[in-house]
């Protein structure tokens, strides 16, 4: 089931009413409803893969319980490895098996040895990268004694499969989400209204911005050899907004939906395209994944401490792993490496924590310096996204060559009235994001207008824009990761 | 047990309070939803009535004969070679959509004397072409302004999600035409289509993919389509002569 579908529009109110009106007095029943709803939500896509979630949840639940009873460090380590191997084993098989087989075969053929390989026709279970990381964080935190293992199996299963964030995050830590399943939840009007606002803005990002940009980005990337440099540059910009609208839109809907049920999920995006350097960008983009890698990979490796060589190694490892997490293709790895190259000079000159505050705080406009820094960082990001979107490395290289050809300064070929309308919508989107950049989410700040009449007019305009653009339904990009 | 008594009273109070707050929340959301739906419906009605005024079915050169049907007559009758004839057939046209076209063309072209209606075996099972996911976005926006509520209900009953999804596309297309002042667009309703032989061959080569596309809707005898054929015949009887143009369906192409 996807958020921007009629199915979900029917599913959500039904679950909401059962959850609050039928099970309001009973916490266990509420948790059970969440588990059932989450499994229905997932099974809507393919019920067979529910067994993976169930198995993964059961293993981590049992590992958690065993860890609490075990004091012997060697045995504790063994238990942790069981959890890691099971979770990463599933992930590795479903996501990376064919990639490794194909690359293995190619590597052998480079040395003149032809080996026959049988890549399998494997379906990638939706959301496997997300829930695997979520359950892994539980086992690691219990192992490190940062978290008491839960005995409440329903609460744990609800934590792993919580439907708003099951298939595309945010990747929640057990330390944040799990305790929320133990506490009695009361309906909070202000929280629910704010959740609805966040859902509305998420739908706008997905349907109006991402799906519109996707149409042009797909057209330009799929026929890149036919277009001029300026059109290719425009295609890369369209993709930049597509991926942001798509993924942050999903996160907004997920966080908003959770708030309707009385849960607080962590912020996943904080207007990343207003960043003044790459370090700031990575503090604001897919924050739940960045902090996961920081806490479970980067810091255990030594982080930014140690020798210069160690620092460089750690930065490359975290960005390459992050790239590889996105998909089994060299394009993602190069995308990760490119970001590492962007990040390294900032880290080595110790400027990575220069921009911790929000840009132009309490001001209407940015300073010229901030504007230049934002534009420069945005340019670097757009360039890196080309690798992320391209079908292969060769495609990315040809695309970049195409951009920097003589036709870069020609008027783009695909500038039709519809394209201009999409560009106008992007401008509107940037303005609203800028105005709401200091809030927890874009509309939280912006909708503090006193008069309800003005607020409702604004919501109605957003709803009408969503309605006008809802015909071109495209799947969320991050489902494939 | 006074403590338990107070605790339970407190719990009950919180419960009642949260139910009250929830009711207010649901009421406001419903109010907003109805307001939004009202605005959408009013916009759709307003734009449709504007579209009816803007759209012209007046044919150039006042032809006396027209041909209606799907891709077969579309490619068969070259109206550049036959005097006083206009080919208004269009690929994928079912009687359901042909009816609205015929009605408007007859009203706006009094010089019209004869309507040739294609009758092919595959017009019997045209459900896919009426409400299939592929055809609704293609056909509905063109004719929706000329449909009655009953006609629209036929589509809604048979494919509600596609019908709901197509409303925005339809609104956008109509608004674009009105803003651009595209009054005359009869070619959008059908025209003679010159077939290049090499393209035909490539279509036949890809016949399996074509068959896949025709499998989304149960495709038995389409009573809806036949009832609209009846309606077309009744409509023609009032003002013009109508003839069936019988064609045998291709063995390969459905």
The reported pLDDT for the residue numbered A162 is: 93
Q: Who has greater pLDDT, A394 or A304? A: A394
Which pLDDT does position B112 carry in this prediction?
Answer: 85
Q: How do B85-87 and B241-247 pair as beta strands?
A: unpaired
Q: What percent of chain A has pLDDT over 90?
A: 57
Residue ranges of B 129-148 with Cβ closer than 8 A to chain A: 137
Confidence check: pLDDT of A112 > 80: no
State residue A370's pLDDT score: 92
Q: Do A471 and B14 touch (CB under 8 A)?
A: no
Please state, for a pLDDT cut of 70, what percent of chain A lies above it: 95
pLDDT score of A397 more than 70: yes
Minimum Cα–Cα distance from B11: chain A residue: A25
CA distance A72 to chain B (A): 44
The 10s digit of each residue's pLDDT in B5-59 is: 566 666 677 777 778 888 899 999 999 999 999 999 999 999 999 888 878 888 8
Of the pLDDT bands very low, low, confident and very high (cuts 50, 70, 90), residue A234 is very high
Q: What is the mean pLDDT of chain A?
A: 88
CB contact under 8 A, B39 and A20: no
In the predicted model, what is the mean pLDDT of residues A465-477? 74
Closest listed residue to residue A117, CA positions, set A99, A102, A96: A102
The alpha carbon of residue A188 is apart from the nearest alpha carbon of chain B, in Å, by 8
At A407, the pLDDT band (50, 70, 90 cuts) reads: confident
* Residue in B11, B39, B137 nearest the CB of A471: B137
Q: What is the pLDDT of residues B98-110, one digit of tens each?
A: 999 888 888 888 8
- Minimal Cα distance from B171: which residue of A? A468
The minimal CB distance from A187 to the residues B18, B36, B39 is found for B18
Dmax over CA atoms of chain A, in Å, equals 74
What is residue B184's predicted lDDT score, i.e. its pLDDT?
Answer: 65
Q: Which residues of B touch A24 (CB under 8 A)?
A: 15, 18-19
Please compute the mean of the pLDDT values over residues A388-393 and round it to a whole number: 92
Token pair of B235 as six digits: 């409509």
What is the reported pLDDT for B253? 43
CB-based contact (8 Å) between B15 and chain A?
yes
Residues B200-217 pLDDT 10s? 666 565 555 444 444 555
Taking the CA of residue A265 and the nearest CA in chain B, the distance in Å comes to: 21
Whole-number pLDDT of residue A155: 94
Residue B80, preceding bond cis, omega within 30 degrees? no
CA distance A228 to A397: 15
Q: Mean of the pLDDT values across residues A92-104?
A: 78
| DSSP conformational letter for B56 | B
Cβ of B168 within 8 Å of Cβ of A21? The answer is no
Cα dihedral value A372, A376, A382, A386, nearest 10: 160
| Total CB pairs under 8 A between chain A and B | 55
B172 and A187 within 8 Å at the Cβ level: the answer is no
Confidence tier at A336 by pLDDT (50, 70, 90): very high
Predicted confidence at residue B197, as pLDDT, reads: 63
What residues are paired with B86 via a beta bridge? B66
* A159-212 pLDDT per residue, tens: 999 999 988 879 999 999 999 999 988 888 989 999 999 999 999 999 999 999
B243 has which bridge partners?
Answer: B116
Determine if the pTM surpasses 0.95.
no
CA distance B159 to chain A (A): 13
Q: Which pLDDT score, from 0 to 100, does residue B249 have?
A: 53
Q: What is the mean pLDDT of residues A285-312?
A: 89
Residue B117 has what pLDDT? 87
Taking an 8 Å cut-off on Cβ atoms, the answer to whether A186 and B18 are in contact is: yes
The domain segmentation of chain B, as residue ranges, is: 55-247
3 state DSSP class of B109? coil
Closest by Cα among A350, A286, A357, A276 to A319: A286
Put simply, the answer to whether A470 touches B14 (Cβ < 8 Å) is no
- Catalytic positions of A are 326
Which residues does residue B66 pair with via DSSP β-bridges, in sequence order? B86, B115
Asked if A227 and A220 touch (Cβ cutoff 8 Å), the reply is yes
Closest-CA distance, A213 to chain B, in angstroms, reads: 17
Q: Does B29 touch chain A (CB under 8 A)?
A: yes
pLDDT band at A12 (very low <50, low <70, confident <90, very high): very high
C-beta atoms of B18 and A464 within 8 A:
no
Which two structure tokens, joined as six digits, stand for A199? 């859902």
Q: Say if B45 is an interface residue toward chain A (CB within 8 Å).
A: no
**pLDDT tens digit sequence for A348-365:** 888 888 888 888 888 889
- Cβ separation of A471 and B171 shorter than 8 Å? no
Give residue-wise pLDDT tens across range B156-188.
998 888 888 889 888 888 888 888 777 666 667
Q: Please say if the pLDDT value at position A447 is more than 50.
A: yes
- C-alpha–C-alpha distance, residues B128 and B214, integer Å: 7
Residue A456 pLDDT > 50, yes or no?
A: yes
Residue B2 clears pLDDT 60, i.e. is over it: no
Average pLDDT in the A126-148 region?
A: 90
Query: Is the Cβ pair A187, B25 closer than 8 Å?
Result: yes
**Residues in CB range of A140: below 8 A, 6 or more apart:** A80, A296
Q: Which of A21, A460, A469 faces B39 most closely, judged by CB atoms?
A: A460
Residue A45 tokens read as 């896509």
Chain B residue nearest residue A22, CA to CA: B19
Angle made by CA atoms B74, B76, B78, in degrees to the nearest 5: 85
**What is the C-alpha separation between A255 and A240, in angstroms, rounded?**
22
């Amino acid at each position: 089931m996807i958020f921007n579908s009629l199915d979900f529009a029917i599913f959500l109110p039904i679950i909401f009413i059962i959850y609050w009106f039928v099970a309001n007095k009973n916490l266990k029943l509420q948790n059970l409803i969440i588990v059932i709803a989450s499994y229905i939500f997932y099974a809507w896509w393919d019920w067979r893969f529910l067994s993976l979630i169930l198995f993964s949840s059961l293993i981590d639940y049992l590992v958690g319980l065993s860890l609490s009873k075990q004091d012997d460090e060697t045995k504790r380590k063994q238990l942790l490895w069981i959890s890691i191997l099971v979770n990463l084993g599933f992930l590795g098989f479903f996501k990376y098996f064919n990639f490794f087989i194909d690359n293995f075969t190619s590597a052998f053929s480079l040395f003149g040895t032809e080996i026959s390989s049988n890549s399998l026709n494997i379906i990638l279970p939706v959301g496997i990268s997300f829930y695997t990381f979520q359950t892994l964080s539980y086992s690691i935190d219990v192992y490190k004694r940062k978290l008491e293992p839960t005995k409440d199996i329903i609460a744990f299963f609800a934590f792993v499969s919580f439907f708003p964030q099951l298939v595309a995050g945010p990747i929640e830590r057990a330390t944040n989400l799990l305790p929320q399943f133990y506490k009695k939840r009361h309906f909070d009007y202000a929280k629910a209204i704010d959740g609805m606002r966040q859902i509305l803005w998420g739908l706008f990002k997905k349907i109006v911005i991402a799906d519109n940009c996707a149409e042009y980005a797909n057209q330009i990337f799929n026929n890149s050899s036919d277009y001029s440099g300026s059109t290719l540059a425009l295609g890369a910009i369209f993709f930049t907004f597509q991926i942001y609208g798509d993924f942050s839109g999903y996160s907004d809907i997920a966080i908003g939906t959770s708030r309707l049920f009385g849960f607080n999920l962590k912020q996943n995006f904080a207007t990343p395209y207003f960043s003044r350097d790459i370090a700031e960008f990575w503090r604001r983009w897919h924050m739940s994944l960045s902090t996961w890698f920081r806490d479970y990979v980067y810091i255990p490796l030594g982080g930014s401490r140690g020798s210069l060589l160690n620092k460089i190694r750690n930065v490359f490892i975290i960005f390459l792993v992050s790239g590889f997490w996105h998909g089994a293709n060299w394009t993602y790895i190069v995308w990760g490496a490119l970001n590492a190259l962007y990040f390294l000079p900032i880290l080595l000159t110790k400027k990575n924590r220069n921009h911790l505050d929000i840009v132009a705080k309490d001001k209407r406009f940015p300073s010229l310096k901030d504007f230049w820094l934002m534009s420069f960082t945005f340019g670097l990001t757009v360039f890196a996204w080309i690798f992320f979107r391209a079908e292969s490395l060769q495609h990315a290289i040809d695309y970049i060559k195409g951009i920097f050809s003589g036709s870069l300064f020609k008027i783009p070929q695909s500038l039709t009235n519809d394209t201009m309308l999409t560009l106008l919508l992007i401008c509107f989107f940037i303005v609203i994001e800028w105005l709401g950049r200091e809030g927890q989410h874009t509309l939280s700040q912006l909708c503090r207008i006193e008069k309800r009449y003005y607020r409702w007019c604004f919501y109605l305009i957003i709803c009408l824009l969503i309605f006008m653009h809802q015909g071109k339904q495209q799947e969320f990009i991050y489902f494939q990761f | 047990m006074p403590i338990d008594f107070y605790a339970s009273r407190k719990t009950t109070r919180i419960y009642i309070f949260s139910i009250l707050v929830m009711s207010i929340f649901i009421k406001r959301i419903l109010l907003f939803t109805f307001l939004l739906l009202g605005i959408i419906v009013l916009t759709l009605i307003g734009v449709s009535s504007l579209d009816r005024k803007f759209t012209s079915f007046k044919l150039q050169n006042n032809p006396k004969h027209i041909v209606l049907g799907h891709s077969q007559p579309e490619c068969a009758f070259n109206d550049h070679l036959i005097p006083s004839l206009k080919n208004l057939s269009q690929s994928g046209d079912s009687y359901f959509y042909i009816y609205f076209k015929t009605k408007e063309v007859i009203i706006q072209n009094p010089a019209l004397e004869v309507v040739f209606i294609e009758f092919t075996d595959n017009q019997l099972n045209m459900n896919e072409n009426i409400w299939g996911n592929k055809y609704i976005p293609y056909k509905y926006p063109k004719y929706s302004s000329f449909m009655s509520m009953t006609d629209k209900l036929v589509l809604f009953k048979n494919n509600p999600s596609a019908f709901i999804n197509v409303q925005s596309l339809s609104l956008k297309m109509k608004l674009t035409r009105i803003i651009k002042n595209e009054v005359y667009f009869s070619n959008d309703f059908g025209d003679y289509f010159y077939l290049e032989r090499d393209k035909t061959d490539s279509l036949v080569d890809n016949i399996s993919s074509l068959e896949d596309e025709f499998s989304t809707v149960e495709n038995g005898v389409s009573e809806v389509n036949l009832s609209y054929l009846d309606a077309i015949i009744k409509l023609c009887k009032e003002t013009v002569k109508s003839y069936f143009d019988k064609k045998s369906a291709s063995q390969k192409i459905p």
